Amino acid sequence: MGRQLRQQRRGRGSSTYRSPSHRHVGEIRHPSAELKAGKVMDIVHAPGRNCPVAEVRFENGAREKVLAAEGLMVGQEVRVDGEVSLKPGSIMPLANIPEGTLVHNLEARPGDGGKFVRTAGTYATVITKGDTVVVQLPSGALKNFDPRCRAGVGIVAGSGASEKPFAKAGKKYHAYRSKSKAYFKVKGVAMNAIDHPHGGGGHPHVGKPSTVSRNAPPGRKVGRLSPQKKRK
């Protein structure tokens, strides 16, 4: 058996690599359009994400949590019924959003609650509208969406989180831990010989062949493959 890779362990979705539930204030998705309009009652910190979360109370007394957009304030009205409103935090179908508008938390399919552009400080731009709506994602890629897919207006709040320096390794450790990201590990070649098979020596070098046999079984055949033999 080959060694199981870290990305393989993460892909299994075990509790070790799953963001813990106690660091999240609840499921963040677009409220039902039947709720029409509501008022922002509070903006709270969610430890499991960099973006703050807005608590909205609707006319029937229901309370829902949405991603806070830049400029969203306590006491502001938020509409979710699809009526055209370009105030930050308003939620409507892409078909009702004018071209050139900055949006966030786009649905991949109508009614899924939002899948794209949810990270602090990110936004997408509505480019053209027709049978499908073309949106430019933060990566620069252009993607076609169903006009019925809903999105929030504005930029996701919390954009300055990545600009503040950590100053020391301990802060970065806790920041990674809160999101269940794999923290940095020291390279074996940087260790002493007693601590790792790759350690020791007068200069950084791996203490055994670093290539992997082409006949290695799946799971072990990872990294630098052995060079092919030169053909005469």
Provide the 10 A C-beta neighbour count for residue 155: 20
Q: What is the pLDDT of residue 56?
A: 94
Whole-prediction pTM value?
Answer: 0.74
Q: What is the pLDDT of residue 205?
A: 85
**pLDDT tens sequence for the chain (232 residues):** 345 666 777 777 777 777 778 888 888 999 998 888 899 999 999 888 889 999 999 988 899 999 999 999 999 999 998 888 888 999 999 999 999 999 999 999 999 999 999 999 999 999 999 999 999 999 999 999 999 999 999 999 998 887 889 999 999 998 888 777 778 888 888 988 888 888 888 888 887 788 888 888 877 777 778 777 776 6
Q: Give 39's strand partners.
A: 57, 77
Domains and CATH numbers, the chain: 6-161 (2.30.30.30)
Query: Residue 61, SS3?
Result: coil
Nearest to 196 by CA among 208, 184, 213: 208
Please state, in angstroms and rounded to a whole number, the distance separating the CA atoms of residues 165 and 172. 9
Provide the 10 A C-beta neighbour count for residue 117: 21
